[in-house]
A and B are shown apart, each in its own frame.
Chain A
Amino acid sequence: MAVQKLPLAKAINESLRLALETDPKVLIMGEDVGKLGGVFRVTDGLQKDFGEDRVIDTPLAESGIVGTAIGLALRGYRPVVEIQFDGFVFPAYDQIVTQLAKMHARALGKIKLPVVVRIPYGGGIGAVEHHSESPEALFAHVAGLKVVSPSNSSDAYWMMQQAIQSDDPVIFFEPKRRYWDKGEVDTEAIPGPLHGARTLREGTDLTLVAYGPMVKVCLEVAAAAQEEGKSLEVLDLRSMSPIDFDAVQKSVEKTRRLVVVHEAPVFLGTGAEIAARITERCFYHLEAPVLRVGGYHVPYPPARLEDEYLPGLDRVLDAVDRSLAY
Chain B
Amino acid sequence: MTVDSTAAARTPRKRTAAKKSAKKSPGVGAPDLVQLLSPEGRRVEDPAHAEYAAFVEDITADELRGLYRDMVLTRRFDAEATSLQRQGELGLWASLLGQEAAQIGSGRATRDDDYVFPTYREHGVAWCRGVDPTNLLGMFRGVNNGGWDPNSNNFHLYTIVIGSQTLHATGYAMGIAKDGADSAVIAYFGDGASSQGDVAESFTFSAVYNAPVVFFCQNNQWAISEPTEKQTRVPLYQRAQGYGFPGVRVDGNDVLACLAVTKWALERARRGEGPTLVEAFTYRMGAHTTSDDPSKYRADEEREAWEAKDPILRLRTYLESETDTDEGFFAELEAESEALGLRVREVVRAMPDPDRMAIFENAYADGHSLVDEERAQFAAYQASFSDAEGGN
Contact = CB atoms under 8 A, between A and B. Distances in A.
A90 B160 CA distance: 13
A50 to B, nearest CB: 15
A257 B202 CA distance: 53
Interface string B207-241: 00000000000000001111000110000000000
Interface string B234-266: 000000000000000000000000000000000
Contacts, number: 119
Interface stretch (A11-19, A126-134, A242-250): A126-134
B91 A126 contact: yes
B359 A305 contact: yes
Interface residues of A, number: 40
Given A126-B142, A127-B92, A298-B360, A304 B195 contact: no
B6 interface: no
A296 interface: yes
Contacts of B353: 304-305
Contacts of B354: 302, 304-305
Interface string B308-319: 000000000000
Interface stretch (A32-40, A73-81, A269-277): A32-40
Contact of B91 (A60, A87, A128): A128
B363 A128 contact: no
Given A36-B224, A130-B160, A315-B381, A304 B145 contact: no
A87 B145 CA distance: 14
Given A298-B371, A299-B363, A302-B138, 17 more contacts: A59-B195, A59-B226, A60-B226, A63-B197, A87-B161, A88-B161, A127-B92, A129-B145, A130-B161, A296-B359, A297-B370, A299-B145, A301-B145, A304-B141, A304-B143, A305-B354, A309-B359
Interface of B: 15, 91-92, 138-145, 160-163, 192-193, 195-198, 223-226, 230-231, 291-292, 296-297, 353-354, 356, 358-360, 363, 368, 370-371, 374, 378, 381, 384-385
17 contacts: A31-B223, A34-B225, A53-B15, A60-B192, A60-B193, A64-B197, A91-B163, A91-B196, A129-B145, A297-B371, A297-B374, A301-B358, A302-B144, A304-B141, A304-B353, A305-B354, A305-B359
